[in-house]
Amino acid sequence: MSNTERHLPIAGERDIVLARQVARSWAQELGFGAIDASRIATAVSELTRNVVRYATGGRGEVTIREVKSPEGRKGLEIEVSDEGPGIEDIELVLRDGYTTGQGMGLGLPGTRRLMDETHIESALGRGTTVTVRKWKA
């Protein structure tokens, strides 16, 4: 297994806890401060919960990997993907308070505020991949 990338399956609620633990300790190892480590872990928690709540069968995968920017800055990238119903209107789900379920609608807009970059790719009926990045200061 490469030590610059780690895949974790998401199949249930305990996987949310595991994924954020892995992300948090990795962020600390990379030298992120306490606040950034908390931001990263919280973003992972929100994104993986979305999979458990909304994806087909509550299943998906999270990949955490070290990345380097063109300017040589180190960062952590988290990619969360599922084969769920997909997102019809990405603009809408990025709006505070919008929810189709029992949540508060803070997951995606909140995650975007916590991270430096957020990319969402989604195809109706095929699935969603959310990629977020945090760069070291």
Partner 1 sequence: MLTSAIIKVRDTLIVSVQEDLGDEDALDLQAALTQQLERTPVNGVLIDLSLVHVIDSFLGRTLNDLAVGVRLLGARAVVVGMQPAVAITLVELGLELRRIQTALTVERGLDLLARSTNHRL
Contacting positions for partner 1 (CB under 8 A): 13-14, 16-17, 20-21, 24, 33-35, 37-39, 41-42, 45-46, 49, 96, 103-104, 106-107, 109-110, 113-114
Look at residues 61, 46, 27 and name the one whose alpha carbon lies nearest to residue 135. Answer: 27
Q: Which is nearer to partner 1, 24 or 133 (CB)?
A: 24
Q: Measured from the CB of residue 38, what is the shortest distance to partner 1 in angstroms?
A: 4
127-135 vs 74-82, strand pairing mode: antiparallel
d(CA 79, CA 40): 12
Q: Which is nearer to partner 1, 38 or 131 (CB)?
A: 38
